[in-house]
Structure formats: structure tokens, C-alpha cells
Structure 1
Amino acid sequence: MALRHADDPRVRCYRSSFADLMEMRAAAEPVGRYLDSHEGWFRRCASPMTVTPLGANGYCLTLGRFGNFGFEVEPTIGLELLPQSQGIYRIVTVPNGATGTDSGLEGLYDVDFQASLRLDPAAAQDEELTLVRWELDLSVWIRLPGVITLLPENLVQSSGEHLLRQIVRQISRRLTWKVQEDFHASHGLDCPPRRRAQF
């Protein structure tokens, strides 16, 4: 049974929503072709995270070590990049067990990752421009050690949500920059300067 459905007082759920955009100096058609060919750019741009192919459209990612209150976990999640539909690209979580990772970790955390990317052709002076707008709804369930549950509930919840925001900001900004740089380099275009995140 997935941790999200477990009846265990030690399980805490942390949720966050994020949005950002990537500025691509090209028309929507080549940007779309690039995103469709994820078997090339996804592994390159996700580095230094460990990436393992998972079926035709999926990848297993090891995100690195994260922790709070002395409790650490090295999460591995499976993501599926769904084929685009009417200019919308979706990335969803592959259910636990389908990733073939260490099942001993399944009882520690559970992740629901729902992302969408939308191509938005934009008017620009003397050049073609496409904005890739993305949104992410992320939920993480963690089974905490019993000793942590002795701490005040609001402290445990707020510190967990703060850690989740830090993880997503760190990973998403790095991935956004690398995808922008990879796209422009592969098309012989000058890359826009890095911009601050919108969250």
C-alpha cells in the first residue's frame, strides 16, 4: 500500500505548488521537437542527479541526500514524460514498485509529482521567441522516526515544507537553466541570461 494511504500517525504530508518559465529564442515548432526528443536532453540536463531510463518515456531519478532534524533520506522517484497533447507536456510520477528501486525505501517516503509545460509563442523585436511556462504540484509523504513526532506539530510541518521548497527551488532552477542552455547550444543560438525564479 502506498504511504499516502497509510493510517500511521508518524506519516506527514508536505505539499507545494510552483511555477516558472523558460525563454527560448526560437519558434514553438523547433522547441516542441526538442521537448519531444527527451531521451537526449533529459539525461544531459538532469545531471548530476543519477538518471536511469524506465520504459519508453520514463526515468528513475536519484535526487541526492536531504534531511531535517537529523533524519536523512536519499529519494529516488520515477517520472514519465507523457507525449505532448495540444502543446501541453505533462510529467507524472511512476508508481512505486514500477521503478525497480530498493523496496526498503518505499516505507519511508511517497511522492506525487504532477507537472505541466505549455508552449507560449511570444512577440519579440526582430527575433522569434517561445516561452515555456511550467507548473508543478508536488506532494511528499514521509514516515518520520517516532522521536520527531514528539516535537511540536507546527514546527515539524513548517520545517518540512521549508525543506521541500528548498529542494524544489534548487533542483528546478538548475534543470531550467540547463535545458535552456542545452536547447540554444544544440540549435546554435545565443542563450538568454539566467533569470530569477518566479517562486
Structure 2
Amino acid sequence: MLSKDQDYQTLDTTEQVMSVTSGLVNTEDLISNIDAGKPITFYCRHSDCMEMYAPSDTVAEYLNCHSKWFVRCAEPMKVQPLGQNGYALVIGRFGAFNYEVEPKIGLELLPPDEGVYKIQTIPIPDYNPPGYDVDYRASLQLVECREEDVSIGSLQTRVEWELNLAVHIQFPKFIKRLPQSLIESTGERLLNQIVRQVSRRLTRKVQDDFHGSIGVPFPKK
């Protein structure tokens, strides 16, 4: 969702976010060299909000019909529906240390429970992630408030959300020869950059799509 970072730069999710060395090696060519030992885990905790200029029940109705907007708003990520509430997403191609991955994860958008929406990882049928595992847990809630200085309307709903993300990666043996502190710092910096940039793009698209669906212009910031 929305990131407050001022150093945001536009990123096509199909390009590499970070390349410590030139000439990244494709994951498929390295599967046989994956270290079967303990994976290295990277964590990301992120929270923010998404502003919607409409009553909370209107926003809730839109969010509940995610099959009508999620695939469209997630572009340029590749998205495939999984059942009633699930989606398989190809996030993009990212890499560092002469090693790259193209993460593909399954996400389930659960119906609200006492006003709280949750998103969690689910398995993708007939897909075995090559050397990585993702644990994605997010929660969202709607907070309705009045803003006297809002020119569009006095009623605003804030979609407040938080994300807890853990990514477990089985690196090739040549990566394990690097200092673990360097691997961890680089990996977490890369993970946080991906989350910020993907969230910001998705937030903006959802805001534009929602306000367009109710015929209310969304201010450009």
C-alpha cells in the first residue's frame, strides 16, 4: 500500500532492483547448486494507510468485490486467480550478488472479520518455489473520519494496514561463502525496497480505480 518514503523512484517490477555484480545468473541454472542447509530469513514490517474519499461502507463494498479490480490494479505484475479469494502473483525479477529470483506467491484476500481484512499466503497448485519460501501476513481496517479541509467531500475513510513479511531463501553455495552479515543486510534492504515500491504503485492504482468507480476525482499528490 502507500509508502511515506520520499526517496521513492519509479520501478518496473520486471527490472532488477539491485545488482551488486554485473551479469546476474538465472535461478534455473543454479538449482543444482542450492545449499540444502539452513535457509537465511529476511524480515520486513511495514505499515501505512490509504485514503479514500467516501463513507466506509462504500469502501468496504469495493474491497469485498476484489475480483473486479485486483488483477487490473496489480499490473504490471502477472496475476492469476486462485479459487474464490486467492491469487497467484509474479512480483518481478530481483537480484544481488550475481544471483536473482523471480518470486511467485499465492495470496488469499479473506472476507472481513469484525471489520478487519486479512491477507495471507496460500500454496499455488502444482508449483514448488525454487529455493525460497514466503510468509506474507497483512491486516487492514477501515477508519472513517471527517476532514473539514477536504475539498472533495467532508467524509474520508482511511484504510489502515500493516504487513509482516518473512522470506526464507536457500542460497547457492557460492553465496554462502560471503559474510552472513553482508547477505542479511543486503537482502533486507532489497526486501524493504521491493515492499515500498510495489506497495506505493498498488496503492495509487487502487485509489484511482476506486474513485473512478464512484465518479469522484482523486487529487494528484
Normalising by structure 1, we get a TM-score of 0.88
- Secondary structure of the 2:197 match is helix
Q: Establish whether residue 63 from structure 1 lines up as the match of residue 91 from structure 2.
A: yes
Q: State the partner residue of 1:79.
A: 107
Q: State the partner residue of 2:198.
A: 171
Q: Deviations over 1:106-160 (max 9, x none)?
A: 2410000000111000121252100000100000001101111111111010000
Query: 1:68 deviation in Å?
Result: 1.0
Q: State the partner residue of 1:120.
A: 143
- Counterpart pick for 1:100 among 125, 131, 140: 125
1:11-26 equivalences in 2 (<5 Å): 11-26=39-54
Normalising by structure 2, we get a TM-score of 0.80
- Counterpart pick for 1:51 among 79, 88, 109: 79
User: Structure 1: which 5+ residue stretches go unaligned?
Assistant: 1-6, 195-199
- Secondary structure of the 2:112 match is strand
Q: Deviations over 1:55-110 (max 9, x none)?
A: 11000000110111111111110000000112111000003xxx12542xx24100
- Secondary structure of the 1:110 match is strand
- Counterpart pick for 2:55 among 24, 27, 30: 27
Task: Identify, as 1 or 2, the structure richer in strand.
Answer: 1
C-alpha distance in structure 2 between counterparts of 1:54 and 1:114, whole Å: 18
C-alpha distance in structure 1 between counterparts of 2:59 and 2:190, whole Å: 33
Tell me the C-alpha RMSD between the 2 structures.
1.4
C-alpha distance in structure 1 between counterparts of 2:61 and 2:107, whole Å: 20
Q: Letter of the 2:46 partner, please give it.
A: F
- Secondary structure of the 2:87 match is strand
Query: 1:8 deviation in Å?
Result: 4.6
Q: Letter of the 2:68 partner, please give it.
A: G
1:144-163 equivalences in 2 (<5 Å): 144-163=171-190
- Secondary structure of the 1:84 match is coil
Q: Is the contact made by 1:19 and 1:134 (CA closer than 8 Å) also made in structure 2?
A: yes
Q: Letter of the 2:63 partner, please give it.
A: L
User: Structure 2: which 5+ residue stretches go unaligned?
Assistant: 1-34
Q: State the partner residue of 2:8.
A: none
Q: Which runs of 4+ in 1 moved over 3 A?
A: 7-10
C-alpha distance in structure 1 between counterparts of 2:89 and 2:43, whole Å: 20
Q: How many residues align?
A: 183
